[in-house]
Amino acid sequence: MNQNRPVQMGVDYYPEHWDPHLWEQDAKLMADSGVRIVRVGEFAWSRMEPADGQFEWSWLDQALDTLHRNGLQVVIGTPTMTPPRWLIDKCPDILPVLPSGQLYHEGVRGHRCYNSPNMRTYSARIVQKLSERYVGHPAVIGWQTDNEFSFTDCQCTACSEAFREWVRTRYNTLEQLNQAWGTVVWSGEYSDWEQVTPPYGGSPFQNPSFLLDYSRFQSDSIVAFQTMQIEIIRHNCPDHFVTHNFHSYPQKADQYKIGQDLDFASFDYYPNPSPNKTDTAPYSGALSLDLTRGIKRRNFWIMEQLSGPPGCWFPMWRTPQPGFLRAYSWQSIARGADAVVHFRWRSATIGAEQFWHGLIDHSNVPGRRFKEFQQLCTEVNSLGERLQGSTLQNEVAILHSHDQLNALRIQPQAEGLEYYENIKVWHRALTKWGISTDVIHSSEALDGYKIIIAPHLYLLDENTAERLQAFAADGGILVLTHRTGVKNDNNLCVMASLPGMLSACSGVRVTEYDPVGGDQIQIRDEKGNTYTASQWADVLELDTAQAIAVYADQFYAESAAVTQNNWGKGAVYYVATQPDEAYLSQLLRTIAEQCGLSEIHSLPDGVQVTTRSGPNGTFRFILNLSPQSVSIPLQASYTSALDGTIKGTRLELGPYGIEILEIQ
């Protein structure tokens, strides 16, 4: 697999949607505009195989030839998200069975059970044929598996059998299963393996240990479905890369498991252009990008980037303002994207996605957005080779895990306490200080970080507890929060004072808690400043820790709300409630200064700073992802990598303005 490419721009293109007479002019305009990569093929099963075993490649041959003739590289998506109608006719068991017992009918997409043996067989064949056909095509450089994997929540017979097997492999005996899931409650004990089924009826009241394992099984089903495809592709196309396009977080499906077999991760990035979202969109987008980079702990691709107002089965969003498309594409690159493929070349005139707008409108008259895209392509192409091989080097990481997400979804703790939303607040506070942050799975190695933020380690296993303690003992700063150590890996509550296995290193014990939910309570820091908090309040007994903030009201007023505990060469913070962002921001600044983080800046709203370093230099991206003009102080004079000008003590950026500075 060859990944030695400059940073490049691309587009998603569906030749089968357009009259072939348009292909040549489209390809030429792409090439002329600076596009280097085109993704094709996913969803086109009915054209590739219009009838069982009858494969039609001529149209795709012609399309790829046309693209190649214009110097474009191609990524092919496997079309397994859209089994054609003849296949459903032949194998109706491919359709997922919803928790209600109703079928997930064909007619849209995603109408396939990952565990259906027929779906596996026919998917393997189309992937086999497709990869055989195009391994040698000079345009093709890599593959995308399927499209935006997510849970179908299928409960068909095949799923039931596969789940039973999964459970049996994990627990061996019914005794161990009943023990592991605590099924004695409500007489739920299994007395026969046949009783192990998906959660029929979809009740949210079912056994939480069972439900968490079922979500793990669902992720594993996707992994198995994908692995089958990847093995075929790798066998046939050893020189091509394989990726998958993840989308809109948080996802219940475990992206780390799905990512394991990929060469790199991809992301479909649709930042919301609404003027009402300017406070949040830049930050939730930044988190999405950092999380995507963390899936494989390496640079990634954007496989679909916003090109115009999305819409279709929901009312359309606002159109992106001038500069928005360019700025958010640079944000992708600034956070580790090595390619930015825009969705889509031209808005569809047919089918369900007509109003998910492309770069060019239905009229085929290139407009404002397309001209902005052309400028962007020119910029990226001028810098692409210098950026090749460059990466972000961060000193802070946030830990993340789908098991935590799913467990907290299965048993909501308090109104407003949402795992991913709370991660967003930590990440946003860091981003606003200009502190570039990794987001990694909690099982990852922690070497090289100065600070680890670990929100809600609700499920806690011994290995994680030990690694975190070791991290702090070795001089790291570990930040823990309420709802840590509550459960073991089977989603059973532990019979221990919280935070359980992390009680010693944090120096605190939770003696009781108040699920504050949407109510607001007060906390007070050491300087006497008060802040609001919500969601949760642990009442602590301090063993070795020091309080650095206390509750300012409630019956536990004056008791510790945030603590610090020295541990080995490092320290452990315990944040016992959910303070507002203002407090978290101050706390993070204090911690960052103590650690001597290299860069801490108070950035204007919407401004983001990250740095990519590589063999061809170090580049600092300063992006104004807001519709306001901003002025940013610079500590020295720098050369603009965009236009070579020297930037002095202040950098002025207009709405959605960006700058890239060369750093010594």
Active site residues: 148, 304
The rounded Cα 344 to chain-centroid distance in angstroms is 21
Give the DSSP H or E segment for 484: none
Amino acid at 615: P
Exactly one of 238, 275, 633, 644 binds its own copies (CB under 8 A); that residue is 275
Say whether residue 58 binds its own copies (CB under 8 A): no
Hunting for tokens 């919803």 — which residue is that?
98
Question: Cβ 220 to its own copies, closest distance in Å?
Answer: 21
Query: CA 621, CA 327: separation in Å to the nearest integer?
Result: 11
Which residue's structure tokens are 């930037």? 647
CB 83 within 8 Å of CB 104 = no
Q: Where are the beta strands (DSSP E) in 196-251?
A: 241-247
Query: Is 640 near its own copies (CB under 8 A)?
Result: no
What pairing do the DSSP bridges indicate for beta strands 577-579 and 530-542? antiparallel
Q: Which is nearer to its own copies, 555 or 635 (CB)?
A: 555
Cβ-based nearer residue to its own copies, 201 or 475? 201
Of the candidates 171, 343, 345, 513, which one interacts with its own copies according to CB under 8 A? 513
Does position 170 interact with its own copies (CB under 8 A)? The reply is no
- What is the residue-wise DSSP string for 25-82? HHHHHHHHHT--EEEE-TT-HHHH-SBTTB---HHHHHHHHHHHHTT-EEEEEP-TTS
Query: Does residue 29 touch its own copies according to CB under 8 A?
Result: no
- Does position 164 interact with its own copies (CB under 8 A)? The reply is no
Cβ-count burial of 257 within 10 angstroms (0-12 exposed, 13-18 middle, 19+ buried)? middle
Q: Does 21 bind its own copies (CB under 8 A)?
A: no
User: For residues 357 and 402, which CB has a smaller minimum distance to its own copies in the complex?
Assistant: 357
Contact status: 519 vs its own copies (CB under 8 A): yes
2 or 193: CB nearest its own copies? 193
Told to check if 497 binds its own copies by CB under 8 A, we report: yes
Contact flags string 297-316 toward its own copies, x per CB under 8 A: ------------x-xxxxxx
**Residue of the chain from 78, 347, 442, 565 that contacts its own copies (CB under 8 A):** 347
Q: Which of residues 396-455 bind its own copies (CB under 8 A)?
A: 411-417
Contact 30, 70 (CB under 8 A): yes
**Distance of CA 143 to CAs 48, 68, 102, 248, 302, Å?**
16, 16, 34, 21, 14
Does position 363 interact with its own copies (CB under 8 A)? The reply is yes
Q: Does 96 bind its own copies (CB under 8 A)?
A: no
CA distances from 38 to 158, 329, 404, 602 (A): 36, 16, 37, 39
3-state secondary structure at position 3? coil
Q: How far is the CB of 661 from its own copies (least distance, A)?
A: 27
Site residues for its own copies, 173-212, by CB under 8 A, read 181-192, 194-195, 199-201, 203-210
Q: Can you tell me which of 321, 391, 522, 639 binds its own copies, judged by CB under 8 A? A: 321
Using rule CB under 8 A, residue 350 touches its own copies: yes
Calculate the alpha carbon distances from 476 to 258, 483, 548, 565 in Å.
30, 21, 18, 12
Please tell me whether residue 495 binds its own copies under the rule CB under 8 A: yes
| Nearest residue (CB) to its own copies, 557 versus 603 | 557
Residue 264 binds to its own copies (criterion: CB under 8 A): no
Binding of its own copies at residue 45 (CB under 8 A)?
A: yes
| Interface stretch with its own copies, choices 44-52, 138-146, 292-300, 446-454 (CB under 8 A) | 44-52
The correct pick among 6, 16, 29, 467 for binding its own copies (CB under 8 A) is 16
Q: Pick from 62, 150, 272, 319 the residue near its own copies by CB under 8 A.
A: 319
Q: Which residue, among 331, 362, 364, has the nearest Cα to 349 in the 3D structure? A: 362
Residues in the chain: 664
